[in-house]
A and B are shown apart, each in its own frame.
Chain A
Amino acid sequence: MAEITLIEGVRQAMDEELARDDRVFIVGEDVGKRGGVFRATMGLIDKYGPQRVIDSPLAELSIVGIGIGAALYGMRPICEIQFADFIHPAFNQIVNEAAKMCYRSAGAWTVPLVIRAPYGGGIGGGLYHSQSVEAFFAHVPGLKVVIPSNPYDAKGLLKSAVRDPNPVLFFEPKKGYRLIKGEVPEGEELLVPIGPARVSRPGRDLSVFAYGMMHQYALQAAEAVAAEGIDVEVVDLRTLLPVDRQTLAASVHKTGKAPIVHEDNRTAGYGAEIADHSGRGGLHLPRGPGAAPDRSGCTSAPLQSPLAGLVHARRREDRRRHSRPGGVLRAFDATQTGPPGKLTPKVKSWLQASRLTPSPLSAARQASTWWGLAEWG
């Protein structure tokens, strides 16, 4: 076993796949001689040559378009988009071409393509180096959307993505590139299947669904409240499309309540899909005698900058409903604005508030805490 960073997991995955399969190649800006602006492709051009690690012009549409064309004719491209913020020029290629090729040709033409990009904030990137774009693509049938939260998954999922015959979008939490370290076995093939979520911390009192950098923070928060007797279950989604509804349902079934944590915009963000599905599909369960099931009417709290998950209740109903025990689904903003530890107190107080009591007064206080958090950002 070796302890490596998340970015090293990415690099090793590409190194191994390039070695294993001649059809694999990398194309992107600065991936060759520079070794990538985050050093994701460090040393690969020396090992495999410029025919397989290709420096592209500054033209994302072409990077993806070339990848699609090559994939159609049997290659296994890994297209790097330097920052997820720059994926938008390639949106048409991804959504109209790559995603639909299998369907529109009834399986005659397929696109075994990986598009990988660093996403997310927390490094002072501003408007155009911090975006989360997963929601745009999780909306499109034919694509797969994968987001690792640790080096083991980064390596294993990227290798699986290269071998997957469908177009896979692989978003890497850039803040965690060097910040997140983990054990990865050496000398053996490491493959993590695309699809299944992972319960990273089993618990009883509530479930926290997260992915990417936010999964790390969720784990930290869970540890922080454990000392006060709150047992948090943390689930790392890993694959956003196709989503592992079974694992999420089992988790909510067990705990009765499930916030979703991500750093994207709240309105119509990925958390909204999970929260809505959970409410609509009846995943929310009442806890305790006499509790009415949640009707998932939802109001979106005003969009704050930075971005937030969808809050899934009406204020009034909250106060009324929590005069008796019941669960509720939340998705909320968890954008990092400072060092990792800063998130924890806010999430901690939220988690404490989530332990519902039958008292109306404390319920009202709890409701306002929820809303306070919804407005926090």
Chain B
Amino acid sequence: MDRWKGRDALLLFRSYLTEKGILSQMAEAEMEARAQGEIDDAVRFAESAPYPEIPEASRPIYVEDIRHG
């Protein structure tokens, strides 16, 4: 398990980019913050959203069952 952890492609690619000077610490921190922000926003939105009003009976199984309006 540890051997494979050491071969994690994401981590290897990250060290490759850092070594080659393509990825700076600042850029990486900024990307992570942006991604985390998106996730936090999405979680906030989902958790504060009301439960859907769709009654079970009207959930469409076939496309022709979709009731519009």
Residues of A within 8 A of B (CB): 102-103, 106-107, 110, 112, 141-142, 144, 165-166, 242
Residues of B contacting A: mostly: loop
Is the pair B61, A165 in contact by a Cβ cutoff of 8 Å? no
Q: Give B residues with C-beta under 8 Å from A.
A: 52, 54, 59-66
Of the A-B pairs whose beta carbons lie under 8 Å apart in the complex, a sample of 19, sorted by A's number, is: A102-B60, A102-B61, A102-B66, A103-B60, A103-B61, A106-B52, A106-B54, A106-B59, A106-B60, A107-B60, A107-B63, A107-B65, A107-B66, A110-B63, A142-B61, A144-B62, A165-B64, A166-B64, A242-B62
A107 cross-chain contacts in B, Cβ below 8 A: 60, 63, 65-66
The distance in angstroms between the C-alpha atoms of A131 and B52, with both chains bound, is: 43
Assess the B62–A166 pair: CB atoms within 8 A.
yes
Q: Which residues of chain A are near B66, meaning CB under 8 Å?
A: 102, 107
CA distance A107 to B52 in the complex (A): 14
Name the CB-closest residue of A to B63: A165
Residues of A within 8 A of B64 (CB): 165-166
Instruction: Determine whether the beta carbon of A142 is less than 8 Å from that of B62.
Output: yes
Q: From DSSP, what is the main secondary structure of chain A's interface residues?
A: loop
Expressed in whole angstroms, the minimum distance between the Cβ of B65 and any Cβ of chain A is 8
Smallest CB separation, B4 vs chain A (Å): 25
Query: Besides the contacts A102-B60, A110-B63, A141-B61, what 16 more A-B pairs have beta carbons closer than 8 Å?
Result: A102-B61, A102-B62, A102-B63, A102-B66, A103-B59, A103-B60, A103-B61, A106-B59, A106-B60, A107-B60, A107-B66, A112-B63, A142-B61, A165-B63, A166-B62, A166-B63
Query: In the complex, A320 Cα to B52 Cα: how many Å?
Result: 57
Chain A CB within 10 Å — which of B59, B62, B65 has the most?
B62
Which B-chain residue is minimally distant from A144 (CB atoms)?
B62
Q: What residues of chain A lie closer than 8 Å to B65, measured between beta carbons?
A: 107
Shortest Cβ gap from B68 to chain A (Å): 9
How far, in whole Å, are A110 and B54 apart by their CA atoms in the complex? 18
Q: Considering residues A102, A103, A242, which has the most beta carbons from chain B within 10 angstroms of its beta carbon?
A: A102
CB neighbours (8 Å) of A242 from chain B are 62
B51 to chain A, nearest CB (A): 13
The 6 A-B pairs of least Cβ separation, nearest first, read A107-B66, A165-B63, A107-B60, A141-B61, A110-B63, A166-B62
Q: Once bound together, how far apart are the Cα atoms of A102 and B63, in whole Å?
A: 7
CB-nearest residue of chain B to A101: B63
Chain B residues whose CB sits within 8 angstroms of the CB of A102 once the complex forms: 60-63, 66
